[in-house]
Amino acid sequence: MASGDLSGATVVFDLDGTLVDTAPDLVRALNETLDLEGLPRLRVDAVRKLVGQGARALIERASALSGVTFSADRLGELTHAFIDFYRADIAAHSAPFPGVVDELQFLAEMGATLSVCTNKRTDLSLLLLEKLDLARRFAVIVGADAVTDKKPHPEHYRAAVMRAGGTVARSLMIGDTSADVQSARAAGAPVAVVSFGYSDVDAAELGADILLHRYSDLSPVCRRLFAAPGH
């Protein structure tokens, strides 16, 4: 396809584990939070399987590994502490996955509009992407706080498409967890998952339409998908 043939298409990306390998900074902030309760620290590999539903859920999942459950009030306090720890050095060790920057450029040159649909807070998402010089590549960044119902609810995906000026009928979700798959599917959109993300199950078992092993495969996938009748 020639440049411009993705005009009118919206490609929606999850953030943590899809666009950016944020686990090293998430585990740093999480362990500083667990220290407040005297709980064992976790390794990066363990945290990669706990990410995807936001900071509060991350703390709940991490503490559950030690058999600890917090009251709603204490969990709220720990979530605020986590966010402060995380924001203080949000991109110290985080980096885009290999090939991300090139593919975002290719998709834009072909006319696609790009957006972010993440269960991370919008302000933290924007701060992270600005630190990595990626924010300017997206029409909108829609965090969990920017919608009534976050992923896996379809409202979140629809918002990421429509606020970017697109239509769900000509859109594609790129994610790494079941929440991404369920949100796009319920909205009526196709979804691709990366095999190197933060899912707690094998990516091949998530039921996505497309499995991506490397970002260099994304633009060819988009060419084929959006050239098909109905897209």
Q: Which two tokens stand for residue 89?
A: 């050095």
The 8-class DSSP code of residue 41 comes to P
Between the alpha carbon of residue 60 and those of residues 74, 101, 185, the distances in Å are: 11, 33, 27
Partner residues linked to 65 by β-bridges: none
Among 5, 14, 145, 176, the active-site one is 14
Q: Which two tokens stand for residue 182?
A: 């369920």
Say which amino acid occupies 120. K
Any idea which residue has 């260099």 for tokens? Answer: 216
d(Cα 169, Cα 208) in Å, to the nearest integer? 17
Please confirm, yes or no, whether 73 is among the known catalytic residues.
Answer: no
d(Cα 128, Cα 125) in Å, to the nearest integer? 5
d(Cα 81, Cα 32) in Å, to the nearest integer? 9
Q: What is the set of active-site residues?
A: 14
